[in-house]
Amino acid sequence: DIVVDIGAYVGEYSLFAINKGVKQVISYEPTPETFKVLKKNKKENMIIVNKAVVGNDVNYVNLFISKGIGVTNSIVKSIRKNKIIKVPAIRYEKAVKNATVVKIDVEGAEYSFNIIQPHLRGIIIEFHPLSGEPWKKYVQKIMNNLENNGYKCIYKPTFKSGWNLTGCWEKR
């Protein structure tokens, strides 16, 4: 497999995939400080890219920086953010063009992606609540779309806590 890790943070999932023997991992992390740590964690067969993955054709996007360790930095505007920086961006379809598996953890930006791509056999998504938005309707639309396009749900999010927001689908 070629795995694309969108919202790689410091590379935990990327390293897991490398250790499982995948052919290659392409890790996208837009936060400059976090990217420095990802760079230190880079292994052979990992390509690391300091860009935000977006759902449209823009070259740069605002990244809203959170307080603390940065796990909730996002291109989705939030009142909880500490500051804003401009970062390079790449469209989702281009970011995953050679992938067979994608992991998406982008703090609410996942709702703007055309997630299904014909070459993807596996999709892992961590869904995020959006304040003042019907985000669970967006989630249901994505999950229905996946299943209507031949993906079988391997693990369904329950949304009972912040630890139950991730789902996994495999192409049948």
Q: Which of 39, 46, 55 is nearest to 90 (CA)?
A: 55
Which pLDDT belongs to residue 166? 97
pLDDT per position as a tens digit, 88-123: 999 999 999 999 999 999 999 999 999 999 999 999
Structure tokens given for 71: 């796990």
- The radius of gyration of the chain's CA atoms, rounded to the nearest angstrom, is 15
DSSP state of 147: H
pLDDT per position as a tens digit, 22-54: 999 999 999 999 999 999 999 999 999 999 999
Q: Which of 101, 133, 81, 88 is nearest to 26 (CA)?
A: 101
